[in-house]
Amino acid sequence: MAVQWGMTGALVAVWLASTVAMSARQVPASAQPPAPGVVMLVPSGEGLPDGPGKDVTVRSCGTCHEARRAASARLTRAGWAAVIDSMMGRGAIIAPDQVPVVLDYLSTHFLGEAAQPLNINTAPQIDFESGGGLLRREAAAVVRYREKYGRFKSVDDLRKVPGVDFRKIDARRSAFIVVVG
């Protein structure tokens, strides 16, 4: 019988491959001093539900941003796997054996349905980050541009926003919609 992976299986396969690749370059966070002038956050689990994996999730996610900020999204398990993979690609250090723990915690406490498209004319910054895959500074740039110049007429209008890598948006085009009026 042939196995059909579909989108979820493909994301898991990518996640597993990246986890194995990342494990070769893992360095404990304590061995990496912050660069001069970089302020590191003290991880805080305030506001997060208790449960297995909370401490690991707070340690893993909370050094770069508030863990509850990241957990404000509601994603499918495959969506959380993609977020974890993306964060590791940006330098988050999560030991390979801890990735499933974080994934289980987020999937259990912050599970959502399939992602709904973001209306770029009304979406808050956090939605551009969590659902749209933009960096915090890119999401902030979109919101500032929208506030300054008004509503977008099409997703392609995001090309005009300075500081936003439109390739990210183009790659996830189905995640964005424009409701005018």
Whether residues 95 and 154 share a domain: the answer is: no
Q: At what angle do helices 54-61 and 99-109 cross, to 10 degrees?
A: 110
Q: How far is CA 60 from CA 29, 37, 52, 107, in A?
A: 9, 21, 14, 15
CATH number, domain at 132?
A: 1.10.150.280
User: Which pLDDT tens digit goes with each residue over 121-175?
Assistant: 999 998 888 778 899 999 999 999 999 999 999 999 999 999 999 998 988 888 8
- The residue that leads in pLDDT, 87 or 10, is 87
Burial zone of 39 (CB within 10 Å; 0-12 exposed, 13-18 middle, 19+ buried) = exposed
Q: Is residue 33 part of a domain?
A: no
Calculate what percentage of the chain has a pLDDT beyond 90. Answer: 27
Q: Considering only CA atoms, which of 107, 121, 106, 105 is closest in space to residue 155?
A: 121
Whether residues 53 and 130 share a domain: the answer is: no
Q: Is residue 79 part of a domain?
A: yes
- Measure the CA–CA gap between 53 and 66, rounded to whole angstroms: 16
Query: pLDDT confidence of 72, banded at 50, 70, 90?
Result: low
Instruction: Report helix, strand or coil for 176.
Output: strand
Average pLDDT taken over every residue of the chain: 74
Average pLDDT in the 108-124 region? 82
Query: pLDDT confidence of 180, banded at 50, 70, 90?
Result: confident
Whether residues 87 and 150 share a domain: the answer is: no
- The residue that leads in pLDDT, 143 or 59, is 143
Contacts of 110 (CB under 8 A, 6+ apart): 71, 72, 73, 74, 75, 80
For the chain, the 3-state helix, strand and coil shares in percent, each to the nearest 5, are 50, 5, 45
Question: What was the pLDDT predicted at 10?
Answer: 38
- Which helix (H) or strand (E) segment holds residue 7: the answer is helix 6-23
- The residue that leads in pLDDT, 69 or 62, is 62
Question: What was the pLDDT predicted at 59?
Answer: 86
Alpha helices in 38-93, H assignment, sequence order: 54-61, 67-70, 77-89
The pLDDT of residue 17 is above 50: no
Query: pLDDT confidence of 103, banded at 50, 70, 90?
Result: very high
Q: Is residue 1 part of a domain?
A: no
Q: Considering the entire predicted model, what is its pTM?
A: 0.45
Average pLDDT in the 14-36 region? 39
Q: Is residue 35 part of a domain?
A: no
The pLDDT of residue 64 is above 80: no
Question: What was the pLDDT predicted at 67?
Answer: 63
Cα four-point dihedral sign 81, 68, 114, 168: negative
The residue range of the domain holding 105 is: 7-28+40-109
